[in-house]
Structure 1
Amino acid sequence: MSRWHRLLAGFRPLRTPRRDLDAAARWFRSTTFDEAAAAPNRQRVLWQRYRTFEELGRDLDLFGEADRPGAGPHLAPKSPILVGGGRLSAPSIGRHNAELL
C-alpha cells in the first residue's frame, strides 16, 4: 500500500460535492495546523504549506532590492546561482554596449 493510500485510508468518499465541502470545512475548523501537518509527515509524504510571494522572498531569500536606472528601486528575483558565497546580479540594460560596439 502506498504512502498516499495509508494517509487517505481514514477518509471515506462522500456522495455529493456539497457534502465533501461540508466535511472538509468541519475538518479544517477542528484541526490545528500541527495536527494537519502530522499526517503527511508520519507517512513521509513530501508537502509544504502555501506561501505568499512575500513569505517566499523573506523566508528563502529569493528576492532583493534592485535599483535600475530609469526604473528606480524595486523588488526583483535574485539569481539562484551562488558564486564565491554571493549571488550574481543581472547586468543592467546597455551595461556592456561600449565594450561590444
Structure 2
Amino acid sequence: MTAESLLLQNVAHGSSYAHDQLAYLAEDTRRAADIRETLYVGLLTGSQIKASVELGIHENTVRLRLTAIAGILGEDYLNRRTELLMALRIIRSLGAAKIDQQTASGVDSW
C-alpha cells in the first residue's frame, strides 16, 4: 500500500497533507486549479515547453505560473517533487471542494 492510498483512506489526513504541501493552491478556485494543473504537468514533464504543449497554453503563461508557484511554495519547491505530486494526486482524487470542506471543519487548518 502506498502512502498516497493511506492518505486517501482518511480524508481528513489527506486534506491536511494536501494543504500542508500546497498552501492556498489547494483551494477550490479557478486560479488555484489552473496553477495546480501547471504544477502537475510541469513536475511530470520537467520542461516548460513540453508543459505548454500538454496544457495547450503559451510557454510564457507556463513560465509566469511557475514563477507564481515558486513565490507560493518557495524557490526550492522542485526539491519536494514527490510530496507535491502526491498532494496534487490527492486533490485530483478527492476534489478541491472536499479539501476545502475538510479544512474548514477544523482539520489542521493552515
TM-score range (shorter-chain normalised) is: under 0.3
More strand by share: 1
Larger RCO (alpha carbons 8 Å, 6+ apart) = 2
More helix by share: 2
Which has the higher Rg, Structure 1 or Structure 2? 1
